[in-house]
């Protein structure tokens, strides 16, 4: 076995403890989706997807902070089981969400100024499916996640930042290491 090497979560080692300027540091996020509508297997099937339909300012602002290559936990909400289903990656940074200008869409926003679109989306690609969905109850039990909006009662944020420690803890709880990153 890897000995001391294995004791160091690879993602933290590489991206947090390395001598990278903060402006370049890899960021981690969690994206919620209802699997009945679009689940992680759907992302795997299509290979790449525009993360549209976000209509909450705080979530939108997080989308706009994303950089190419940022790592996302894909969370299944409103599901049995609810939890993290896999890892995705930001393939394109924020650009205008086209659905806001589509009158036929449920996400149409007639008040959005075309010259300064109100809503943004990013593109994401699948990276790795979890062996099994990491249930919300398990996530709640992880010390690293105690302060996350995900587990805070009443928070409905659909795009939220994740720390490197939270990411590593989730991966470890899912039985994965971060070598694939």
Give contact residues for DNA (rule: CB under 7 A).
32, 34, 55-58, 77-79, 82, 111, 136-137, 153-158
Give the pair of three-digit tokens for residue 173.
Answer: 């709880």
Work out how close the CB of 54 gets to DNA at its nearest, in angstroms, rounded to a whole number.
9
CA–CA gap between residue 163 and residue 105 (Å, rounded): 34
Can you name the residues that pair with 97 across neighbouring β-strands?
none
Between 146 and 155, name the residue whose CB sits nearer to DNA: 155
Closer to DNA by Cβ: residue 8 or 37? 37
Rounded to the nearest whole angstrom, what is the least distance from the CB of residue 155 to DNA in the complex? Answer: 6
Q: Name the residue nearer to DNA (CB basis): 12 or 77.
A: 77
β-strand 83-96 against 120-135: which pairing, if any? antiparallel
Which residues touch 30 (CB under 8 Å, ≥6 apart)?
Answer: 72, 73, 75, 84, 148, 150, 159, 160, 161, 162
Complex with DNA: residue 66 or 178, whichever CB lies closer = 66
Report the nearest approach of DNA to the CB of residue 82 (Å): 4
What strands, in cross-sheet order, belong to the sheet with 159-162?
A: 49-50, 120-135, 83-96, 71-76, 28-33, 159-162
Residue 118 CB, nearest distance to DNA (Å)? 10
């Amino acid at each position: 076995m890897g000995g001391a090497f294995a004791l160091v979560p690879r993602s933290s080692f590489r991206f947090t403890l390395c001598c990278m300027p903060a402006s370049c540091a890899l960021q981690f996020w969690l994206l919620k989706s209802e699997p009945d509508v679009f689940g992680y297997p759907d992302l795997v099937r299509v290979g790449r997807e525009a993360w549209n339909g976000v209509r909450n300012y705080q979530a939108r602002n997080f989308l706009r902070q994303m950089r190419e290559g940022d790592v996302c936990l894909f969370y299944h909400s409103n599901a049995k089981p609810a939890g993290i289903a896999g890892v995705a990656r930001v393939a394109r940074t924020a650009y205008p969400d086209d659905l806001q200008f589509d009158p036929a869409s449920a996400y149409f926003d007639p008040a959005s100024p075309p010259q300064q679109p109100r809503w943004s989306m990013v593109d994401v690609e699948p990276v790795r499916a979890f062996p099994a969905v990491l249930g919300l109850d398990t996530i709640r039990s992880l010390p690293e996640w105690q302060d996350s909006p995900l587990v805070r009662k009443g928070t409905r944020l659909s795009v939220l930042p994740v720390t490197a420690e939270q990411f590593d803890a989730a991966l470890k709880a899912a039985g994965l290491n971060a070598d694939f990153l």
